[in-house]
Amino acid sequence: MRLFLDTANLAHIRHGIELGVVTGVTTNPSLVSKEGKVDYKALVKEICAVVPGPVSTEVLSLECDGMVDEAHEIVTWAENIAVKIPATTEGLKATSVLAKEGIKVNMTLCFSLNQAILAAQSGAAFVSPFVGRLDDIGENGMDLVVDIVDYLSYYNLPTQVIAASIRHTAHCLSAAKAGAHIATVPYGVLLQMVAHPLTDIGVRRFTDDWNKVMGNAGILPQQ
Ligand code: E4P
């Protein structure tokens, strides 16, 4: 399972890339708004320059024609853009048009297997089931990820699943076990994934034991 960062914060994106574990980014209008009143195009271009893989950039129009026009503009900003389009009837129409043109679409706001089936049929490169938001209304969001992964692999379809609306590290584990191709995680969750108290205790103990006997002698020759 690949990891994307679910943010529009450049410092967090740079750190994720530096760690060598983040290969893509997903943004949405709410995440961009969190960064203040920014120049959307300039911000997306900067993110795309830092990130090696796809950067999902959402359209704002609600109608097919507007979505297609916006997508045509957005893909000129960088080569690694995936256009994010909501799983609505207008979104499906737009995705069918864009997919035929070879534009990568991430069908977002997916809350049912039916929507995912339609996303795959319309040619979306990615489909994003929103796990946390389904959990919020008393459903099991990860069950949807499992169902979509099963469906796509049963029919050998190329659409990739991005487990989205990830709220905690247990979601990451379950997404990986479910066979999601990608999980898009908030920066805080990414940091929690590496954290373990036994690792911290272990590192401290190794250092103390070494220092007790070796003093400050290190591995590199002293200058
Ligand atoms: C996915 O691409 C979305 O940006 C994101 O995961 C939304 O999650 P939220 O429920 O935390 O807003």
pLDDT above 70: percentage of residues in the chain: 100
**Both tokens of residue 168?**
């905690």
Which atom from ligand 1 is nearest to the alpha carbon of 164? Answer: 6
How confident is the model over 196-200, as a mean pLDDT?
97
Beta bridge partners of 24: 4
SS3 at position 121: helix
The confidence score (pLDDT) of residue 28 equals 95
Distance 3 CA to ligand 1 centre (A): 14
State which ligand 1 atom lies nearest to the alpha carbon of 26: 2
Task: Look at residue 189 and tell me whether its pLDDT is greater than 90.
Answer: yes
Residue of 218 and 154 predicted with greater confidence: 154
Q: How far apart are the C-alpha atoms of 124 and 59, rounded to whole Å?
A: 15
Q: Is 184 in the pocket of ligand 1 (CB under 6 A)?
A: yes
Give me the mean pLDDT over the 130-147 stretch: 98
What does the block give as tokens for 172? 């990451």
Q: Which residue has the higher pLDDT, 95 or 218?
A: 95
Q: Is the pLDDT of residue 222 over 80?
A: no
Tokens of 203: 């590192």
Amino acid identity at 28: N
User: Treating both helix axes as pointing N-terminal to C-terminal, what angle do 10-18 and 40-50 enclose, rounded to 10 degrees?
Assistant: 10
Pocket test for ligand 1, best of 13, 25, 28 (most atoms within 8 A of CB): 28
Of ligand 1's atoms, which has the minimum distance to the CA of residue 133? 10
pLDDT of residue 86: 98
pLDDT at 75: 98
pLDDT tier at 216, thresholds 50, 70, 90: confident
> Given this model, what pLDDT does residue 221 score?
84
The per-residue pLDDT for 76 is 98
Q: What is the mean pLDDT of residues 165-186?
A: 98
- Please name the residue ranges forming H helices in 161-196: 169-178, 187-194
- 28 CB near ligand 1 (under 6 Å): yes
Q: What is residue 131's predicted lDDT score, i.e. its pLDDT?
A: 98
Q: List the residue whose alpha carbon is closest to atom 12 of ligand 1.
A: 165
Q: What is the mean pLDDT of the chain?
A: 97
Maximum CA pair distance of the chain? 72
CB 60 within 8 A of CB 91: no
Distances (CA, A) of 27 to 140, 155, 181: 24, 29, 18
Residues whose CB is less than 8 angstroms from the CB of residue 172 and which lie 6 or more positions away in sequence, other chains included: 166, 183, 185, 189, 193
- Taking the centre of ligand 1 as the mean of its atom positions, its distance from the CA of residue 6, in whole angstroms, is 7
**C-beta of 6 in contact with ligand 1 (< 6 A):** yes
Q: Are 67 and 91 in contact (CB under 8 A)?
A: yes
| Residue 9 beta carbon below 6 angstroms from any ligand 1 atom | no
- Per DSSP, the three-state class of 140 is coil
Task: Using pLDDT thresholds of 50, 70 and 90, give the confidence band for residue 104.
Answer: very high
Instruction: Report, as an integer, the average pLDDT of 22-35.
Output: 96
Q: Which residues pair with 83 in a beta bridge?
A: 57, 105
Q: How many CB atoms lie within 10 A of CB 52?
A: 11
The reply to whether ligand 1 has any atom less than 6 angstroms from the CB of 108 is yes
Catalytic one among 84, 93, 100, 212? 84
Above pLDDT 90, what percent of the chain? 96
**Which tokens sit at 196?**
């373990």
Q: Does residue 84 have an active-site annotation?
A: yes
Could you tell me which of 38, 42, 44, 46 has the C-alpha nearest to residue 84? 44
